[in-house]
Structure 1
């Protein structure tokens, strides 16, 4: 019997990357197995294109990737017959998001976004080095922010953004102001491209994430994997999805779950 083709979609912070120091080495065994089996690993994160490009170099990853919670999909040259790299955009551009946020601040909303912070300040808040913090500020369609108001004010703020056709999504560390898109949009788009490429061969989509920010991506996958983390208990999937949940957190849990799934499917 022919093995199905697997496609891996993975969140980064708190999932493939350790929440404290952003390291991925604990997942090295599973990453090598994916590479040996030529199974695409599609990074799907709130991180920016420059941030993910840098990490892809470390991982020797050459697959498409999804940036800023689905703001854009980047398709490397020669992936689907395309001669040059392609960028497919979803949702509102960042300029529109910042304009709405500025109006909300004038109305009394209390928050600090990446646009408000210098590279040094952002490095201090995130634990990133200055170069990495600079990459994090180069955004296409989203604005991460730290909320400084009350829970009641946050509810009102969320509603005000919704009235402007924007969403506020809570990730592992920041809230993300963004257009009407999420991580599942880019994942579904790429899944369609791979299924078209492979014709009649079965393609099974596996998604790994650790926070409510990953909810839609996990729901859209054939096999959702919830990695243990700070907010993972808030991820509640439909019972029909039969989600896998890791025992360990971060890259350790990622490694174990991916290795188990590869064994299950004969890789």
Structure 2
């Protein structure tokens, strides 16, 4: 089936952006989300979460007709897919990680080093959801317990294996370098939206926010504020005053109004 180019395609981080940091609730964003979908727009979830995790959330949000960006851009979940993926890339990453000097390796505790119960405790997820979070195909989030100087050495050592280390809202995530912005560019080329918008709250969202026509920085009460981003001074990127899904709802509603999508007659049956 040929998809009509959406009038507005929203690329959205999950944790701390569309999902509340504590409760993982997304329903405060429902009014703007449903309004966007009625107008023929779409949402591409863009997250560090795994494909199995995202497939479940995507179904709950009635977004299964849209692709999703998983594991910080390392993979794309096709519309309607259930999240099964080849783990070869993840296994290669873990071998490189385990080959590091003991002091560096010991300071990083990845999801592959944890049990489902450990991940549930570290994330606040229910045990079943934590099991899905550990079903990784492309990247490895983890907790760093070393010094800043050790982290720099750790990152440099991984770079020799073409592995990057990027900070998200809670975790240091290792991958083979593709970002949310890289995956966003691929999907924008494919879907050809009239307008693009991106929302996020963490450093690993910055490139995606900067790459969108309209970028929204959601405040993160659990982390340091993002530094000024390219495009912020001229207003193309803006900061919303509410956290999580409340901020998402406000920002998306404002952009729909600003673009006058309702007046443009873009509503689809």
Same fold (TM over 0.5): yes
Aligned residue for 1:205, secondary structure, equals: strand
Aligned residue for 1:237, secondary structure, equals: coil
Match of 1:76 in 2: 79
User: Equivalent residues in 2 for 1:209-248 (5 A)?
Assistant: 209-229=200-220, 230-231=222-223, 233-239=225-231, 242-248=236-242
Match of 1:116 in 2: 113
Question: Please, what is the CA RMSD of the aligned residues?
Answer: 2.1
Question: How big is each residue's C-alpha offset from its partner over 1:200-239, in whole Å with a ceiling of 9 and x where there is no partner?
Answer: xx62110000010101111211111111113462243114
Please say if residues 18 and 251 of structure 1, whose CA atoms lie closer than 8 Å, have aligned partners that are also in contact: yes
* 1:265 equivalenced with 2:259 (yes/no): yes
**Cα distance in 2, alignment partners of residues 236 and 140 from structure 1:** 33
Match of 1:198 in 2: none
Aligned residue for 2:198, secondary structure, equals: strand
Match of 1:65 in 2: 68
**Cα distance in 2, alignment partners of residues 258 and 5 from structure 1:** 13
Structure 1: tracts of 5 or more residues without a match: 78-84, 196-201
Aligned residue for 2:154, secondary structure, equals: helix
Please say if residues 52 and 82 of structure 2, whose CA atoms lie closer than 8 Å, have aligned partners that are also in contact: no
**Cα distance in 2, alignment partners of residues 128 and 210 from structure 1:** 19
Please say if residues 74 and 177 of structure 2, whose CA atoms lie closer than 8 Å, have aligned partners that are also in contact: no
**Cα distance in 2, alignment partners of residues 153 and 33 from structure 1:** 47
Aligned residue for 2:40, secondary structure, equals: coil
User: Equivalent residues in 2 for 1:100-111 (5 A)?
Assistant: 100-104=96-100, 106-109=102-105, 110-111=107-108
After TM superposition, the structure 1 stretch with the greater mean CA deviation from structure 2, 97-106 or 145-154, is 97-106
Match of 1:81 in 2: none
* 1:13 equivalenced with 2:4 (yes/no): no
**Cα distance in 2, alignment partners of residues 187 and 232 from structure 1:** 25
How many residues are aligned here?
A: 249
**Cα distance in 1, alignment partners of residues 26 and 104 from structure 2:** 40
After TM superposition, the structure 1 stretch with the greater mean CA deviation from structure 2, 31-40 or 167-176, is 31-40
Distance 1:119 1:257, change over 3 A: same
Please say if residues 116 and 130 of structure 2, whose CA atoms lie closer than 8 Å, have aligned partners that are also in contact: yes
Aligned residue for 2:246, secondary structure, equals: helix
Please say if residues 97 and 166 of structure 1, whose CA atoms lie closer than 8 Å, have aligned partners that are also in contact: yes
Q: For 1:208, which of 190, 199, 204 is the aligned residue?
A: 199
Please say if residues 212 and 231 of structure 1, whose CA atoms lie closer than 8 Å, have aligned partners that are also in contact: no
Distance 1:57 1:232, change over 3 A: farther
Structure 2: tracts of 5 or more residues without a match: 1-5, 263-269
Measure how far apart 1:108 and its partner are. Answer: 3.6
Measure how far apart 1:112 and its partner are. Answer: 0.7
Match of 1:99 in 2: 95
More strand by share: 1
Match of 2:47 in 1: 45
